[in-house]
Amino acid sequence: MTDIHALIDSEIKSNDVILFMKGTPQFPQCGFSGQVVQILDHLGVTYKGINVLESAEMRQGIKDYSNWPTTPQLYIKGEFIGGCDIVREMFQAGELQTQLETSGVAVKSAS
């Protein structure tokens, strides 16, 4: 059995922006994951999507890792940001863009 926490930890530490989601960035399989993908794509952020539906171990592992009961889960530079509602609220308030820029993640300038 693989150590799912070590795998999750490694993914979070080796990707500036990572989204644990249902489905993939190209094909989200739930509305909440889709909303976060739309926000990240709108901001032009480079990120990695991990499909939690591919493995029950990953689906439960990420919830245990973050102590957060749902997916999607967004991490920026190793820091857990939150799920869909938090990401959407931060985006609407301009806080997500600031957080990304402060973390050194390139964001497409607002047009």
CA angle centred on 62, ends 58 and 10, rounded to 5°: 85
Could you give the CA distance from residue 110 to residue 16 in angstroms, rounded to a whole number?
21
Secondary structure class of 29 (helix, strand, coil): coil
CB atoms within 10 A of CB 70: 15
According to DSSP, the residues that pair with 21 across neighbouring strands are 51
Q: Give the confidence band of 110 by pLDDT, cuts at 50, 70, 90.
A: low
Structure confidence by residue, pLDDT tens digits, 43-99: 999 999 999 999 999 999 999 999 999 999 999 999 999 999 999 999 999 999 999
| pLDDT beyond 90 at 6 | yes
**Structural domains of the chain, ranges and CATH numbers in brackets:** 4-101 (3.40.30.10)
